[in-house]
C-alpha cells in the first residue's frame, strides 16, 4: 500500500507533535503493509505558511530517525495545499507537489466548496499541475450532491477519499458519500489523512471493506496502483471503471427498483 495523505511529519501543522510518536506510527504502518507514504503537511497562507527548507529539514530529521529504528518505509515529501487566489505562485516557487511529480494535493473550505473554487484551481491545470482534491466526501456541497465529484473529475481534478470516512469516523453522511464515490468510480485514492492521534488501522480496515464490497482489483487500484503512479508521474485515468456490485450485495440499482 501507498498512503498519499498524512500529517505524520512532526511540529509543522496540526498533525504529529512528537517525532517519537511519528516514528512509532511509521512502524505500525510498515507492519501493516504500507511501503511508501507522502508526508502531506498543511500548507495554508496565513496559517501554515513556512519556507520549503523548513519542511525539508524536518523531513530529513524524520528520515534519519526512522532509518535508525530500522524502518524501510519510504517517506515522500508532500503538501496539502489550501486553495486560495494566487496559490499557484507558492506551488511553483516552493514546489508544493507530491514528491517530484506534477500531482498536487489540494483542499478547500469544508462547508463549501466556495464558488470560486474551480476558478482558483484552473491556474494549476494551466501550469501543468495535476490537482487531487483531498477528502472530497467531507465537503458539504459534495455530500448534498455526490455527482459533483464526477463533475470535478470531468474537469481534470482527481479525487481522494479518507479511509476513516468509509468507516464512519466523520459521521453517517460522510460515510454514505464516501461509499457513493467508491461505488461509482468517482474517487482515485484511498488515504489515511492520519494525524498521529489514533493507531493507524483505518487504511487497512477500509481496504478490507472495499475488497469485501466490490473486489480486490478496486482495492488495489485505490490503495496501490494509482498511488504508485504518482512517484513516476504517470498518467492516472480520470474515469477508470464501471463498478459492478457483487450479487451478494443487497443494494438494488435504481433501474431494478423501478422495474423490479
Ligand atoms: Fe489532511
Q: Per-residue pLDDT tens for 48-83?
A: 999 999 999 999 999 999 999 999 999 999 999 999
Task: State in Å: Cα 246 to ligand 1 middle.
Answer: 32
Ranges in the chain, pLDDT < 50:
243, 250, 252, 254-257, 259-260
Q: Are 200 and 28 in contact (CB under 8 A)?
A: yes
The confidence score (pLDDT) of residue 60 equals 98
Cα(110)–Cα(112) distance, integer angstroms: 5
Residue 115: the pLDDT is 80
Cα(106) to ligand 1 centroid in Å equals 9
Q: Measured in angstroms, how far is the CA atom of residue 184 from the centroid of ligand 1?
A: 23
Residue 64 Cα to ligand 1 midpoint, Å, equals: 24
* Rg of the chain in Å (alpha carbons): 18
| CA 6 – CA 134 distance, rounded (Å) | 11
Q: How many angstroms does the Cα of residue 219 sit away from the middle of ligand 1?
A: 21
Distance of CA 193 from the midpoint of ligand 1 (Å): 5
Ligand 1 centre distance from Cα of residue 252 (Å): 34
Distance in Å, CA 248 to ligand 1 centroid: 34
Compute the distance from residue 135 Cα to the ligand 1 centre, in Å: 8
pLDDT of res. 238 = 95
Distances 246 to 129, 187, 206 between C-alpha atoms, Å? 36, 19, 17
CB 152 within 8 A of CB 130: no
Ligand 1 centroid to residue 15 C-alpha, Å = 9
CA of residue 134 to ligand 1 center, whole Å: 7
> Looking at domain 2-259, which CATH architecture does it have?
Alpha-Beta Barrel (3.20)
How far apart are alpha carbons 149 and 159 in whole angstroms? 7
- State in Å: Cα 107 to ligand 1 middle: 8
Amino acid at each position: 500500500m501507498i498512503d498519499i495523505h498524512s500529517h505524520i511529519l512532526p511540529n509543522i501543522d496540526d498533525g504529529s507533535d512528537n517525532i517519537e510518536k511519528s516514528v512509532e506510527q511509521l512502524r505500525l504502518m510498515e507492519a501493516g503493509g504500507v511501503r511508501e507514504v507522502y508526508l502531506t503537511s498543511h500548507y495554508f497562507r496565513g496559517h501554515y505558511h513556512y519556507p520549503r527548507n523548513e519542511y525539508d529539514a524536518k523531513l530529513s530529521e524524520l528520515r534519519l530517525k526512522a532509518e535508525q529504528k530500522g524502518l524501510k518505509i519510504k517517506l515522500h515529501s508532500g503538501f496539502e495545499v489550501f486553495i486560495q487566489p494566487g496559490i499557484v505562485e507558492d506551488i511553483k516557487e516552493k514546489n508544493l507537489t507530491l514528491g517530484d511529480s506534477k500531482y498536487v494535493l489540494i483542499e478547500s473550505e469544508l462547508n463549501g466548496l466556495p464558488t470560486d473554487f474551480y476558478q482558483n484551481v484552473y491556474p494549476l491545470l494551466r501550469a501543468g499541475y495535476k490537482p487531487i482534491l483531498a477528502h472530497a466526501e467531507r465537503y458539504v456541497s459534495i455530500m448534498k450532491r455526490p455527482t459533483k465529484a464526477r463533475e470535478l473529475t470531468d474537469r481534470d481534478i482527481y479525487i481522494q477519499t479518507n479511509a476513516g470516512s468509509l468507516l464512519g469516523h466523520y459521521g453517517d453522511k460522510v460515510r454514505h458519500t464516501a461509499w457513493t464515490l467508491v461505488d461509482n468510480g468517482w474517487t482515485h485514492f484511498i488515504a489515511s489523512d492520519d494525524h498521529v492521534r489514533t493507531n493507524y488501522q483505518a487504511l487497512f480496515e477500509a481496504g478490507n471493506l472495499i475488497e469485501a464490497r466490490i473486489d480486490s482489483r478496486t482495492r488495489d487500484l485505490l490503495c496501490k496502483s494509482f498511488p504508485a503512479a504518482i512517484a513516476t508521474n504517470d498518467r492516472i485515468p480520470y474515469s477508470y471503471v464501471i463498478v459492478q456490485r457483487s450479487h451478494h450485495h443487497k443494494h438494488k440499482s435504481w433501474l431494478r427498483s423501478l422495474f423490479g
